[in-house]
Amino acid sequence: MKISAIRDLLVGSTGLWLAMGAAIFLLTALAIASRFGSSHRSEIVARIKWFSWDRRTFCQHFLITGATGSGKTLGGILRLLFQVFKHEPRFGGLCVDVKGLLHEKVVEMAKHFGRPDDVVVLQVRSNSATTEWRPVNRLNLVGDRSIPFGTYARCVADTAAALGNRQEQTFFRRAGQIHIGKGLEALHALGYEVTLENVHNMLVNPGDTARVVKELGTKETTRGLAEHFQNYLAQPPEQLAGIVGTVGNYLHYFTEPAIAEVFCRDSTFALEDVDKGKIICLALPQKYQTERRFVGTFLKLLFFTHALSRFDADAKRRQLQNMLLFLADEYQQFVTASEDGLSDHSVIDLAREALMAVVAATQSTTSFVPALGTDQAKVLTLNLRNRLIFTSADEDDAKAAAEFLGRKTVKTRSWTWSNGKRSETFTETEDYRVKPHQLRKLRKHQCIVAHANGRFRKFTLPPVQPDGTVPNWYRRSWFTL
């Protein structure tokens, strides 16, 4: 072949080689981006280092674990919350915690992003409050008439069971739930304020029950309710006392005057306002620690109920819905398990399609076992597909995290000698990709970030402030969000 012909061939193929090179570069870039999460910028909800999440993967939920002082709150919870504020300006949600401090960070972060009016803090009267103090925001926990009274009663029973009434006899638990539902219905039928405080007084005080029975009997439409409560009062004394005691235990913590002032009065907003971007937080003084758990758990159940109601909308409306976020620190204090109610492990599996994401933090996955039992706790944690694993608090939690991260095949080589000859043998075994002892030795703010797509990597996640900056007290101040 002549030299000129070879030159023409090379020149003519230059464009082809450049096109092939560009295509290979583009495919490589896309592969690298998809390796660590979502690649479409407009869909990104959160980003941590090399990982990113779109709505679909973010709504596969997050579980943040770590021993006390490992950095899971400042480095994990606030980091994710900041990312959601940054990328989802219309999101609404519910934030609960045991310490009663989370609302302060949410308020500051909302101000930073220009959304101070979107945060609804349900604040309860403190010891330092003056006599003129009045709550700015109120929410009647049973004030939404679109929710059946029986559903409210089930939420009350599930809340009480989650907070220590699991050993109660099934008969009394079921009877208490039924009578609470009927009590709410009776209050509504007679035109009284439908509140947990009023239904408590009606069912626990025989005089109030008798007066309600008399009023119900005067109306044709309510005689069925009157007959129900006549039978309620006509029970054997021991049986009635047991049911009254059950109802009292279920509703007592909602009747504390300071609690009732906020949660048993007319509402200043509706729970469905989360669809408009409202973010609900609790601010209860430390003396109301048990009440904080009762109210937080009840609100969680209402929030789940609302999220599932999104399935009732048509496909066009569902496409326009904003993302909802349920954020819970010390999540084990708010989980519920119910045979016929809203168990966390079953709701979370469905909520993803309703565009609801759960970000749950706890010291150890073993802390779910007392509240849910071994089987339900395992199902719950498996449904939380994204993980931020800080220093494991105990060996069982470390093993569970290592199992979640998966195993790898390891080839081992051994030699044997026979008749003066050496033979070589290869054996394949499975071992943890990250061993439990390594998870227990993670330093403060070191974290294994595991994406729902199966990828994971170890990073240092420094603490972040509500404005996204790293605090001055953190020595490694060169890290940025």
Confidence at residue 337, expressed as pLDDT on a 0 to 100 scale: 87
Q: Tens digits of per-residue pLDDT, 92-114? A: 999 999 999 999 999 999 999 99
Whether the Cβ atoms of residue 94 and residue 274 lie closer than 8 Å to each other: yes
Q: Does 19 score more than 70 pLDDT? A: no
Q: What is the mean pLDDT of residues 475-481?
A: 50
Q: Does 40 score more than 50 pLDDT? A: no
Q: Which helix (H) or strand (E) holds 426?
A: strand 421-432
CA atoms within 13 A on the CB side of 457: 13
456 strand-pairing partners: 450
Spell out the domain ranges in the chain. Answer: 140-266
Q: Does 420 score more than 80 pLDDT? A: no
Tokens 């030159």 — which residue?
A: 7
Q: DSSP character for 352?
A: G
Contacts 24+ apart (CB under 8 A), 457-464: 457/36, 457/49, 457/50, 457/51, 459/48, 459/49, 461/48, 461/71, 461/75, 461/76, 461/79, 461/388, 462/75, 463/71, 463/74, 463/75, 463/78, 464/74, 464/75, 464/78, 464/79, 464/82
Q: Does 55 score more than 90 pLDDT? A: yes
Q: Tens digits of per-residue pLDDT, 205-259? A: 999 999 999 999 988 889 999 999 999 999 999 999 999 999 999 999 999 999 9
| Confidence grade of residue 263 (pLDDT, cut at 50, 70, 90) | very high
To the nearest whole number, what is the mean pLDDT of the chain? 88
Q: Does 42 score more than 70 pLDDT? A: no
Q: Does 33 score more than 50 pLDDT? A: no
Least confident stretch, 30-34, 311-315, 446-450: 30-34
Alpha carbon distance 260, 265 (integer Å) = 7
Q: Residue 148 carries which side chain, given as an amino acid letter?
A: P
Confidence at residue 128, expressed as pLDDT on a 0 to 100 scale: 85
357 vs 28, which has greater pLDDT? 357
How is residue 449 written in tokens?
Answer: 């970030």
| Confidence grade of residue 408 (pLDDT, cut at 50, 70, 90) | confident
| Confidence grade of residue 477 (pLDDT, cut at 50, 70, 90) | very low
Confidence at residue 202, expressed as pLDDT on a 0 to 100 scale: 96
- Letter string b/e over residues 76-90, b meaning 16 or more CB atoms within 10 A of that residue's CB: bbbbbbbbbbbbbee
| Confidence grade of residue 38 (pLDDT, cut at 50, 70, 90) | very low
Question: Cβ–Cβ contacts within 10 Å for residue 345, how many?
Answer: 21
Whether the Cβ atoms of residue 68 and residue 390 lie closer than 8 Å to each other: no
